[in-house]
Amino acid sequence: MLKSIAVITSGGDSPGMNAAARAVVRTALYEGVKVWGINDGYKGLLEENMFEMKSQSVSDIIQRGGTFLGTARCPEFETPEGRKKAYDILVKKGIQGLLIIGGDGSLRGAQKLSAEQGIPIVGLPGTIDNDVWGTDYTIGSDTAANTIVEAINKLRDTASAHSRIIVIEVMGRKSGWLAMVAGISGGAEYILVPEETYDLDAICDNLRTRYARGKRSSIIVVAEGVGSGTAIGKIIGDKTGIDTRISVLGHIQRGGSPSVEDRLKASRLGEKAALALISGLSNIVFGFQKGKIVSIDLHDAVTNIKSLDPDYLRLAKILS
Ligand SMILES: Nc1ncnc2c1ncn2[C@@H]1O[C@H](COP(=O)(O)OP(=O)(O)O)[C@@H](O)[C@H]1O
Ligand SMILES: O=P(O)(O)OC[C@H]1O[C@](O)(COP(=O)(O)O)[C@@H](O)[C@@H]1O
Ligand SMILES: [Mg+2]
């Protein structure tokens, strides 16, 4: 049984991180375990920026986007020296295990910390990108997908009014999951993702034919991993001769009050992860497979690349 643990959020914030951290804190306190909150990700850890949490420390946060702990990207933690320093600080504070809520990069860093220093680590996948191997779901991905769909609905209204094409660039790093899921749900005509090649000439020919027949709007979702939506939109406008506008959605996708799905799944994952860490388990990530909570080997989670479900690729083609 561990007696003192710490929770940290790292990498890009995502809606639901607060719900996860809240569940971790309240589960630990329920079990009589001391729990620290580390501010500003690995950067804050290296600065000893942490505080002991009470139940009230996590009041009034489940409904908020972002992360009340703060987050950061931290190049120093990518070095063995940086990770050794982090370990020494944890030991100094009497922290026996670390619960990390973050994306693929943060989990990769945590895996190295554990391999090099032997400190128990349990991870939760927290990123809007849904790009962590071994889990169908990452905390925040549902809210972000819903935000994108709302944007598509609005863009559709104006595209249709003006008989235009609108190209929307969405986040996701190297993953096309966000673009694909939001694109299908928003009724996009084309969804360009890094997992699949595309033929811009064929797309433009098709758009021209359809507009000649009276089509009044098209939404083309471009995952950032494919390249610049602005550049692709410019080519589409030039090749088709159809009035085209470009919208780069940006960081609006990361914020906002988390959806019920994100709050609930994050809370459930938070409880499981805290109990596992307290009981002495290590080197695992909790996630969801086929609707059920599963534990994934941390090393597997950070060394494998998650692929995009081919069902989505097929469906997007059929429905476009
Ligand atoms: N390969 C790595 N080795 C060690 N630490 C890493 C590695 N990749 C990322 N990190 C740490 O995790 C932080 C967050 O990673 P990043 O990829 O930016 O976000 P995310 O965790 O959301 O994917 C980085 O700033 C760095 O401190
Ligand atoms: O906030 P920044 O530093 O501009 O980073 C933008 C990136 O962060 C994300 O929103 C989330 O990515 P991570 O979860 O890997 O941090 C990506 O979709 C996007 O490419
Ligand atoms: Mg990432």
Atom of ligand 2 nearest to the CA of 254: 10
Q: Which residues line ligand 2 (CB under 6 A)?
A: 11-12, 103, 105, 127-129, 171-173, 224, 254
73-to-6, 11, 41, 105, 182 alpha-carbon distances in Å: 18, 5, 7, 9, 27
Which pTM value belongs to this model?
0.97
Query: pLDDT tens digits for 140-174?
Result: 999 999 999 999 999 999 999 999 999 999 999 99
According to DSSP, the β-strands at 34-38 and 50-52 are antiparallel
List the one residue out of 144, 146, 150, 160 whose CA is nearest residue 245: 160
Give the active site residue among 13, 129, 131, 142. 129
| Two tokens, residue 194 | 């890094």
Mean per-residue pLDDT, 217-243: 98
User: pLDDT-based confidence at 268, cuts 50/70/90?
Assistant: very high
Residues of the chain with CATH 3.40.50.460: 142-255
pLDDT of residue 164: 98
User: pLDDT-based confidence at 24, cuts 50/70/90?
Assistant: very high
Residue with tokens 């943060």: 106
- Is the dihedral angle over the CA atoms 251, 288, 21, 78 positive or is it negative? negative
CATH architecture group of domain 4-140+258-303? 3-Layer(aba) Sandwich (3.40)
Phi, psi of 164 (to 5 degrees): -115, 170
Mean per-residue pLDDT, 296-313: 97
CATH classification number, 142-255, choose in 3.40.50.460, 3.40.190.10, 3.90.550.10, 3.40.50.300:
3.40.50.460
Residues of the chain with CATH 3.40.50.450: 4-140+258-303
187 is in an annotated binding site: yes
Q: pLDDT at residue 320 above 90?
A: no
48: left (phi over 0), alpha (psi -120 to 50) or beta: left
| Two tokens, residue 236 | 């589409």
Mutate which of 132, 173, 177 for ligand 2 pocket (most atoms within 8 A of beta carbon): 173
Helix H or strand E segment including 220: strand 217-223
| Two tokens, residue 97 | 């295990």
| DSSP helix/strand/coil, 308 | coil
Query: Which residue, judged by its Cα, is nearest atom 8 of ligand 2?
Result: 12
105 is in an annotated binding site: yes
Q: Among this protein's residues, is 129 annotated catalytic?
A: yes
Please enumerate in sequence order all residues whose Cβ is within 8 A of that of 93, keeping only pairs 6 or more positions apart, or say none.
4, 6, 36, 48, 50
